[in-house]
Structure 1
Amino acid sequence: MNKESRSNTVLIVALVVAGCLVLLCGAIAVFVFLFGFSPLTVEETPTETTLLSAAQLEQCRERLAIQPEVALEGEYYLYTPGFLDDSLECHLQARADSLEAVFDTAVINPSLTTDQEIAPGRHLRLNIEIIEPGLYRLEGFWYQT
């Protein structure tokens, strides 16, 4: 075997190895894109509390379409992150003149207790209890698909 033939063999082997590496990287990229899995990311854990921060109360207010002027008191918060399928459960007490004054009725219908699509791919289920006139216990489960 002469020197030129050996160099061609080494070049062919190097090209085959490089091609295999490119295919492997492409397969990993497709897997990550399709299934949302990356070994480089740490999976987020759910956040659960009965002492809601101001940011958590505002997140509940936004997701449950509660009017900005309504006074809220948080009882329970559970946020579960996911790959395009986050969910949020909020238990709140709201003080307002009427139930219609609590919610943005352009977004949701507070009289429905079934799942409502409030935006494309985003859903809300409400359970409302009247504690006394002007005071409501709200249980909202928001999720996206």
Structure 2
Amino acid sequence: MPQGLKAPRALALALVLLLSALLVACGAYSRDIDAVKQSNVPTGIVNEELAKQFAGARGKIDWSAEQPEKYKDNENIVLVRAKIDRVGRSGAKREVVLEWIRNRQTDKIDMERVLVDGQEQGMMGGALQLLLLQLD
């Protein structure tokens, strides 16, 4: 094989391996995200529907998951986040972040925290703040 063809082949192989690793990493938390989306803890409303309600017709939802620093000693606990960019009727832009933890071992899911425009909300305050967002 000519020397000139070895470098592009090696580069192509490295690119394929890198893309494969990225796809595996993206899929590592897909089950956790799906489980949280389908859960109705703690509101009684399916979490995916809850996020859609807050996003409204003009909003956008980004789901992600990660190993939380807070629970770094337990690899079974995963933090799942719904980042909601909401645009109200008045044009006001708000950011709502809903976070849940999922324990892969016990299959339990619980709300971890709610942030509205970067400010952490208590459960009651968060519920009220989210209700007020619906009125905008």
Normalised to the residue count of structure 1, the TM-score between the two structures is 0.29
Give the number of the structure whose alpha-carbon radius of gyration is greater.
1
Kindly indicate which of the two structures has a greater share of residues assigned to helix.
Answer: 2
